[in-house]
């Protein structure tokens, strides 16, 4: 049976691989690492890259923490036990160029005891300008990873992402979605835990090659001040989702997680323009029209 120590070690390797790939992709910026310990048990490695040729700000974080669950989390999970272990890798990348998308990935594992163990995670893309060709490529690659492990995964997890990455107070999705899953275990899937873990690792390792293709395609496109301003407005929507709706942010805050690591997902700059309405027929208006659930990108 796969152990929590083996899972954490594999996730550490994935963090290393992704950081190396992103440094090579950017071409100039390097990650800075900070090791930290969590009061109550465990710790992690926060790695931040900033002011690169293409990567304005990004984080690739690993954590493995343990301790006592707060009462609010126990109630939300519907459990009585409170000795937990959680490990994962979390990534958010904010590029300089408005034509390059924000991307997020998270793979994680949670354990209370030998009977209550599950995996969660996903990858989603948040373009400032939706390019339909890029969206199709992104979803096709994620479907290929899902299909390798379970033919039902992509359709189920794509809908899950649409529903999860939804800014309810705006009535729009955060981006073009991707795949998202939570509390994936043997009972839910009929798969053994080792196979679910293999899916988690394959999804994690798909991040760098998928994003590299999208970055290389768009990194040299020129942009105007107006397009840069639109990027900042879209970043504002990203911030709204992460601070208001994101369950990972809430879990981190409620379990006394490290604030700098939890909030590394926020961009260095964002804008909120009162009642901003894009011009009819513009690329900005086209993007807004595609920020909705249920689009079949395949």
- What is the DSSP track for 119-151? EEEEEEEE-SS--HHHHHHHHHHHHHHHHHH-T
By the 10 Å C-beta count (0-12 exposed, 13-18 middle, 19+ buried), 84 is classed as: buried
The pLDDT value recorded for residue 38 is 86
Can you tell me the distance from the alpha carbon of 176 to that of 293, in angstroms, rounded to the nearest whole number? 8
Catalytic residue, from 66, 94, 104, 128: name it.
104
pLDDT for res 249: 87
CB 290 within 8 A of CB 236: no
Q: Classify 88 as helix, strand or coil.
A: strand
pLDDT at 247: 85
Which CA distances in Å does 138 have to 51, 127, 179? 25, 11, 10
d(CA 85, CA 113): 9
> For 269-290, how does the pLDDT look when each residue is reduced to its tens digit (9 = 90+)?
999 999 999 999 999 999 999 9
* 94 a catalytic residue: no
Distances in whole angstroms, Cα of residue 129 to Cα of each of 124, 215, 294, 296: 15, 13, 18, 18
pLDDT of residue 263: 87
Phi, psi (deg, nearest 5) at residue 28:
-140, -45
Q: What pLDDT score was predicted for residue 97? A: 98
3-class DSSP state for residue 28?
Answer: coil
What is the model's pLDDT at position 54?
Answer: 96
Q: What is the largest CA-CA distance in the chain?
A: 57
Mind listing the pLDDT tens digit of every residue in the chain (298 residues)?
A: 799 999 999 999 999 999 999 999 999 999 999 999 988 899 999 999 999 999 999 999 999 999 887 777 777 777 776 788 999 999 999 999 999 999 999 999 999 888 889 999 999 999 999 999 999 999 999 999 999 999 999 999 999 999 999 999 999 999 999 999 999 999 999 999 999 999 999 999 999 999 999 999 999 999 999 999 999 999 999 999 999 999 888 878 887 777 888 888 899 999 999 999 999 999 999 999 999 999 999 9
pLDDT of residue 103: 98
48, β-bridge pairs: 32, 59
**Residue 98: predicted pLDDT:** 98
Predicted local distance difference test score (pLDDT) of residue 264: 84
Residue 71: per-residue pLDDT: 76
């Amino acid at each position: 049976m796969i152990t929590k120590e083996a899972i954490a070690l594999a996730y550490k390797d994935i963090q290393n691989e992704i950081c190396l790939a992103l440094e090579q992709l950017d071409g100039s910026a390097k990650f800075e690492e900070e090791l930290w310990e969590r009061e109550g048990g465990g710790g992690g490695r926060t790695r931040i890259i900033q002011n690169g040729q293409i990567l304005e700000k990004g984080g690739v974080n690993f954590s493995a923490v343990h301790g006592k669950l707060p009462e609010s989390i126990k109630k939300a999970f519907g459990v009585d036990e409170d000795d937990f272990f959680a490990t994962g890798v979390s990534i958010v990348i904010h590029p300089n160029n408005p034509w390059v998308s924000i991307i997020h990935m998270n793979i994680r594992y949670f354990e209370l005891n030998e009977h209550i163990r599950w995996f969660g995670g996903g990858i989603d893309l948040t373009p400032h300008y939706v390019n339909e060709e890029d969206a199709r490529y992104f979803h096709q690659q994620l479907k290929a990873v899902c299909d390798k492990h379970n033919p039902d995964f992509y359709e189920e997890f794509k809908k899950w992402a649409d529903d999860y990455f939804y800014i309810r107070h705006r009535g729009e999705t955060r981006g073009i979605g991707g795949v998202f899953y939570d509390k994936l275990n043997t009972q839910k899937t009929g798969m053994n835990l080792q196979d679910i873990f293999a899916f988690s690792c394959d999804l994690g390792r798909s991040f760098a090659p998928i994003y590299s293709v999208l970055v290389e395609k768009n990194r040299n496109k020129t942009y105007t001040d107006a397009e840069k301003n639109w990027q900042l407005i879209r970043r504002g929507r990203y911030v709204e989702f992460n601070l208001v709706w994101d369950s990972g942010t809430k879990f981190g805050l409620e379990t006394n997680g490290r604030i700098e690591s939890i909030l590394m997902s926020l961009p260095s700059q964002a804008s909120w323009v009162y009642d901003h309405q894009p011009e009819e027929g513009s690329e900005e208006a086209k993007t807004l029209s595609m920020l909705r659930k249920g689009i079949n990108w395949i």
